Structure 1
């Protein structure tokens, strides 16, 4: 049975510009959706429908097929159903395979999981449903008003209960269970969907999901909320050597504790961790490309790089531009770069690479944008910890906490 997952991801977005490429947990929204679909056991084919070249590139790299959507169904008024039908036709033309079941997967629901997709798919493939959707249990009292928006003075006086009577408000355990449509995932029999031309027909199955993961990104506040929640809701995924080709390290705050000692002549010194030096040496021996990239102009950065035998670019104002140029010169794909940072000037580089990593002591905004966060603060062995992620637990042998002074 062919189960086709279609992920609509157009380029235009007024609420959040370039929304589908915005990162949550260090991963673009469209890529998060692709990964969930690829991990679902019941899904056989994954297609991203888009009109945007950058989204198409990200989707292909993540492992999805891409269907380029015509302008007629890519505007603000275009329906998801139109995108799904077009993707079904295009996929059939490309593969010569007719889908039995089609899934609509919304990448604006950042915490969708493979289990969610398997749930709606199996409701149709195994349980006899014609359509299915993810829902979240709710016990809330819903209100509506007549005559306008809440900003209208008269409308504020016309509130009434939708799922309850103002004169009779039973306890939660005495009310019938209700469910909120999450907007994350839908499954439909493909032939029925073509005939009905909408996502609900016949027998509809409700597939409950965890209410804590229900979030749709419609405006910048939703996006910020998702970024804060990602470290709590995303499963811990750490990079291995097979995931990356290069490691790029910030200096201050990642290889140091972000403190500087200044003597009477204005000379600056910093403390670095010997364990980090051992980790960097192991990364160098593993064959990975290494770079220290810093905005700091102090000669101490270059001196430390020389001791570590690692190339360095420092005194750099636009680190993201320097990183992109370095990747181009070394033939390294940015999505296979692990970049370690700690402060807000590292965020542009985070948006460029596939593995943005924050140290435990990083700024809150940096931690929220990271794909992984160390348990160790900067300057206390965080780089050693990252090296152990990449190269294995052999690097976790005890080591001295003696600090190198440089």
Structure 2
């Protein structure tokens, strides 16, 4: 049974135009995820799903396979699972596991995917996704009043009840779930990541500048 990696990379983006092509650390944003996937020998094939000719050519230059994404599933509001499902339909092969690497999360700890895939297999998971603990005091605004959500006023940050957020670094899912439009199942394993890379998710110019700062600092370690 095959394990494949899919990197969905649309050409359009409203808040940061052509972000998946932008150079981060001297290479296009999408290439970070391609190179990361290529470091793992348990991945049988790497696919880039795109509607953009420039991105397609970049991906081909780095030796991965490209699936042309139909315009109908390339809009801003289209869920990621549509691209994954389309890849599976187009390649027409029997696939067991799909690893989703989003180009907007370009920096990942070196051992993360290897460790996560081992847990995924050992625990016979149907899906796995990465999470990171939140350490902020959160609340909501109601009629001009701030209402604490995860703490009481005056409570110390270190005493907060542990809450976690989906950081987007990676997802591993059974291919049959994707055929049912599911990436994260009800029984998905939440793989905890405590790393500065988990704070990066590029959607704006400011996000991109932040990722450059983190990348530069990390490279100098």
Regarding TM over 0.5, the answer is yes
Asked if the contact 2:128–2:190 (Cα under 8 Å) also holds between the matched residues in 1, the reply is yes
Unaligned runs of 5+ in 1: 147-154, 237-406
Unaligned runs of 5+ in 2: none
1:144 to 140, 143, 152: 140
CA distance in 2, matches of 1:171, 1:163: 10
1:153-232 correspondence to structure 2 within 5 Å: 155=143, 157-166=144-153, 169=155, 172=158, 174-195=159-180, 197-214=181-198, 215-232=200-217
Asked if the contact 2:129–2:184 (Cα under 8 Å) also holds between the matched residues in 1, the reply is no
Any idea what the Cα deviations from partners look like across 1:248-269, whole Å, max 9, x if unmatched? xxxxxxxxxxxxxxxxxxxxxx
CA distance in 1, matches of 2:65, 2:97: 17
Aligned-residue offset at 1:123? 3.1
Asked if the contact 2:127–2:189 (Cα under 8 Å) also holds between the matched residues in 1, the reply is yes
CA distance in 1, matches of 2:189, 2:68: 31
CA distance in 1, matches of 2:190, 2:58: 31
User: What secondary structure does 2:190 align onto?
Assistant: strand
Larger Rg: 1
1:236-247 correspondence to structure 2 within 5 Å: none
How many corresponding residue pairs? 220
2:125 to 116, 123, 129: 129
CA distance in 2, matches of 1:89, 1:198: 15
Any idea what the Cα deviations from partners look like across 1:4-61, whole Å, max 9, x if unmatched? 1111101011111110011111111111111111112432221000000110111111
TM-score, normalised on structure 2?
0.90
1:26-45 correspondence to structure 2 within 5 Å: 26-45=26-45
Any idea what the Cα deviations from partners look like across 1:156-175, whole Å, max 9, x if unmatched? x2321222234x72551x44
CA distance in 2, matches of 1:235, 1:198: 39
Asked if the contact 1:135–1:180 (Cα under 8 Å) also holds between the matched residues in 2, the reply is yes
Per the alignment, residue 69 of structure 2 pairs with 69
Q: Which has the higher contact order (CA 8 A, sep 6+)?
A: 2
TM-score, normalised on structure 1?
0.51
| Root-mean-square deviation (Å) | 2.0
CA distance 1:235–1:60, shift in 2 (3 Å): farther
Per the alignment, residue 98 of structure 2 pairs with 102
User: What secondary structure does 2:111 align onto?
Assistant: helix
Aligned-residue offset at 1:178? 2.5
